[in-house]
Chain A
Amino acid sequence: MEEGLPIRVENIKAGYGKLEILHGVSIRAELGELVAIVGPNGSGKSTLLKTIFGFTNIYEGRILLGDMDITKTPPHKKPYLGMAYVPQVANVFPSLSVEENLRLSYIVFRKRGDGARKFSQVLADIYEMFPILKERRKQKAGTLSGGERQMLAIARALLTQPRVMLLDEPTAALAPKIAEEIFRIIREIANKGITVLLVEQNAKRALEISDRGYILVQGKVAYEGHSREILSHPELGKLYLGLLK
């Protein structure tokens, strides 16, 4: 598998239509780094990921993937550059079976795969990683439980052999045990050398597993630093993250 790629967002101003949501945001994630983006509801975390993937209007600033400027690259070309995006909601195709959902990743895989490994091998690996998906493979994705659905969404992304993954609240509304499982998988992905941008509501857990973190407040970066540093900061937790120690 190829190495991860660094991604850099430079002073981005973006939003929906004429409504600006991000007022000059800069973040970066180095090769193979797991970066958490946390912050209160409505602060623009999802908008930031959507912007990186090209689903919003960008008014100013630029986005770099490695050395390549991808500010204007349309979303459907991004997977071929090694980017994978798992949206917060509607991240699987409910009317397709689990297997069909996974099979769609072949479209990108056949352009990105290194040739040495066949799709079926990679798929087998994925089923090993998520055994529950193998059990459910004939089932419609719309009938999966919340945790299974998140796993399917992550599996879909992984199958495209990404170098950068954008994950939007993959543990929202999941039971703690299942959320824990997902966090473990995310850490594992980053350990393999894939760069991960993780947006999370559960700030504490996200910061615990990540290398660095950003706190986004009202469309601006309010704080950035090493995750441990943020976790141990006397004020930040109380101010923004609802962490009471």
Chain B
Amino acid sequence: MNIISFLVTYLSVAAVYALLAISMNIDYGWAGIPDFGKAAFIAAGGIAAAIVATRIVPPLMLHMHPANPSKLSFFTYYNGKILPAITAHPIDTWIVFIISILLGGIIAAGFAVIFSYPAIRLKEDYLAIALLMAAQIVWLFLRVYTPIMGGTMSMTLPSPSFKPIARALFHSTSPSAIDAAKALFLWGLVGVFLYYAEKQMNSPFGRMLRMVRDDEYAAAALGKNVARARLESLIVASFLAGVAGAVYVLIHFSSVNPDYFMPDLTFFVLTLVLVGGVGNNIGSIIGALLIALLYRASYIFGTSLGFSWGSYLYYMIIGLAILITIFVRPNGILPEKPVRTPAWDVYALVRGKQPWFLRRILMRGRGKVNTGEKSE
């Protein structure tokens, strides 16, 4: 029983990580953008959930005044009146959830449009640092600007209620049944993300992204708009990150706090993708499953050691996971799959001729090139 409850919570956690990883895989894995601002895009989901719970749902659904987290009276009003009112009806908690994920995605996409300005201009190193700084600014801002999520004190959020789902599926509302329902729901969500990402990946859009990543100049020579491809990938990835962020705070934490979105989060998500396989969605999910397990195991093990540093053992685990991956399997556990339709075939189909820079290679396969006369 204990093992099962561990497994169920573990699976829920891993599912949330998988959502974050899939989003990272789109801009980092396919487009080669070192999206070190990921924490800010995830924070967009947190911002959305906080706004929805305090300012949108109360006046809209409950005929209550919106709550302002920067006011002193906020806690008595929000915790005492609004939260109980929302959680009283499971349906309302789901409405909060649905508005939050949509709004989170939209806010994140908005951030992406702003961040994309440097993203399509700067070199990799500079870009990584610029995005990291931008994310740090968002984090600092959320800490100081209290009207959004009340600064550094954690604000409780109305989790979507899994009781009805548990009752329908397992005919039980025991805590373990609820947890199981939650895990099932989250993995369903992972399935949706995966389906969407896979579809995008094998579309002309996905192929173009990888082409831009592998050889910007060749892509430009083929008439691809490199800047636009980068922008679009950043928007798509960020929308998913915003959605995942709302799930992260509403289901994973049931609360929100700016410190959930520190840059460490970006590196953590990066590790999932890196270990699982850059450019491979299934790989990202495997990475999430594996790292979530290591993370929890090392935390439990570390704290049971009785040393003050035991609780930091996960730093070591994550660090070693990154280093070992880079040295032993630079492409991760599941490396990227080859493109299903080679881009040059698509080009030949459209333009009726081979791209100039490939003509040479392709020709060699088909017959000897006449090299002229031989002497002596």
Interface residues of A (CB under 8 A from B): 19-20, 23, 217-220, 222-225, 239-240
Q: Which residue of B lies closest to A220 (CB)?
A: B371
Contacts of B125 in A (CB 8 A): none
Q: Which residue of A lies closest to B360 (CB)?
A: A19
Mask, B344-376, CB within 8 Å of A = 1, is: 000000000000000001001000010111111
Contacts of B376 in A (CB 8 A): 224-225
Are A19 and B371 interface neighbours, CB within 8 A?
A: no
Q: Which residue of A lies closest to B361 (CB)?
A: A19
Q: Give the distance to chain A from B358, nearest Cβ to Cβ, in Å.
A: 10
Tell me, in angstroms, the Cα distance from A127 to B376 when the chains sit together.
44
Q: Which residue of A lies closest to B357 (CB)?
A: A19
Contacts of B373 in A (CB 8 A): 222-223
Tell me, in angstroms, the Cα distance from A237 to B373 when the chains sit together.
13
Contacts of B371 in A (CB 8 A): 23, 217-220, 222
Contacts of A239 in B (CB 8 A): 372
Contacts of A223 in B (CB 8 A): 372-375
Q: Give the distance to chain B from A186, nearest Cβ to Cβ, in Å.
A: 25
Could you tell me the dominant secondary structure of chain A's interface residues?
Answer: strand
Tell me, in angstroms, the Cα distance from A224 to B364 when the chains sit together.
24
Q: Which residue of A lies closest to B370 (CB)?
A: A218
Q: Which of A223, A225, A240 has the most CB of B within 10 A?
A: A223
Are B375 and A225 interface neighbours, CB within 8 A?
A: yes
Are A240 and B375 interface neighbours, CB within 8 A?
A: no
Contacts of A220 in B (CB 8 A): 371-372
Tell me, in angstroms, the Cα distance from A15 to B214 when the chains sit together.
19
A218-B372, A240-B372 known; 16 new pairs, CB 8 Å cut-off, are A20-B364, A23-B371, A217-B371, A217-B372, A218-B369, A218-B371, A219-B371, A220-B371, A220-B372, A222-B374, A223-B372, A223-B373, A223-B374, A223-B375, A224-B375, A225-B376
Q: Give the distance to chain B from A236, nearest Cβ to Cβ, in Å.
A: 9
Contacts of A224 in B (CB 8 A): 375-376
Q: Give the distance to chain B from A100, nearest Cβ to Cβ, in Å.
A: 27
Tell me, in angstroms, the Cα distance from A222 to B373 when the chains sit together.
6
Q: Give the distance to chain B from A231, nearest Cβ to Cβ, in Å.
A: 14
Q: Which residue of B lies closest to A219 (CB)?
A: B371
Q: Give the distance to chain A from B250, nearest Cβ to Cβ, in Å.
A: 47
Q: Which of B364, B373, B376 has the most CB of A within 10 A?
A: B373
Contacts of A217 in B (CB 8 A): 371-372
Tell me, in angstroms, the Cα distance from A222 to B374 when the chains sit together.
5
5 A-B pairs, CB-CB below 8 angstroms?
Answer: A19-B361, A217-B372, A222-B371, A223-B374, A224-B375
Tell me, in angstroms, the Cα distance from A224 to B376 when the chains sit together.
8
Mask, B168-210, CB within 8 Å of A = 1, is: 0000000000000000000000000000000000000000000
Q: Which residue of B lies closest to A229 (CB)?
A: B375
Q: Which residue of B lies closest to A233 (CB)?
A: B375
Q: Give the distance to chain B from A237, nearest Cβ to Cβ, in Å.
A: 13
Contacts of B372 in A (CB 8 A): 217-218, 220, 222-223, 239-240
Contacts of B375 in A (CB 8 A): 223-225
Tell me, in angstroms, the Cα distance from A239 to B375 when the chains sit together.
14
Q: Which residue of B lies closest to A225 (CB)?
A: B375
Q: Give the distance to chain A from B25, nearest Cβ to Cβ, in Å.
A: 25
Contacts of A19 in B (CB 8 A): 361
Tell me, in angstroms, the Cα distance from A217 to B361 when the chains sit together.
16
Tell me, in angstroms, the Cα distance from A223 to B376 when the chains sit together.
8
Q: Which residue of B lies closest to A215 (CB)?
A: B372
